[in-house]
Amino acid sequence: MVFARLRLLLFVTMLALAGSIAACQSPTLPLPPPSEPDYLTSEEGDYAEIVGGTGSALPDALVMVFNADLGTGVIVTAGPRGEFVARVPTSFADGGYNTVEIWQRHGRADSPSITKLIRKRQP
C-alpha cells in the first residue's frame, strides 16, 4: 500500500514538472502598437509633434517615430501613464504629406508599427 502511494506521488510530481516546463516554453502575447496619436505640424512645415495621450503606449516604453520620406526619426520614453510627445523632422517639398511609422519597445520586445500620414498645415 505504501509503495503504491509513493508511485502515485512520483507520477503526480512528474506530471506537474512536465506541465511547468511546457508552460515556460509557451509563446508570450505580442506587444501591441501604440494607440493612434494626434499630430500638429509647425507653421514652417519643418517638424511635426506626434502626441500620444494617457494610455497611448506602455508606461516607460521607448516610442520610436520614423519619417520614412526623410529617412530620419526620434526615440522618446513614454511617461508613467503611457503618454508621449515626439518632435519629428518633416519636409513637404515633394508633396502635401509625410509618411511616419510609430512603434514601441518594452524590454526586448518591439511592437508592430502603425503608419500615419502627416499633412502639411493649411494656412
Q: What is the tens place of the pLDDT at every residue in 71-84?
A: 999 999 999 999 99
Q: Which of 85, 5, 99, 94 is nearest to 37 (CA)?
A: 85
79 burial (CB, 10 Å; 0-12 / 13-18 / 19+) is: middle
pLDDT of residue 80: 98
For residue 91, give the C-alpha cell. Answer: 519636409
- At the top level of CATH, the class of 38-119 is mainly beta
**Cα angle 32, 36, 40; round to 5:** 145
Q: With a threshold of 0.85, does the pTM exceed it?
A: no
Residue 16: band (very low, low, confident or very high) from pLDDT cuts 50, 70, 90 = confident
The grid coordinates listed for 89 are 523632422
Please state, in angstroms and rounded to a whole number, the distance separating the CA atoms of residues 102 and 66: 6
Question: Residue 93: what pLDDT?
Answer: 85
| Beta-carbon contacts of residue 72 (< 8 Å; ≥ 6 apart) | 66, 88, 89
| Residue 98 near residue 45, CB atoms below 8 Å | no
Q: Give the neighbor-by-neighbor strand order of the sheet with 84-89.
A: 38-41, 47-52, 84-89
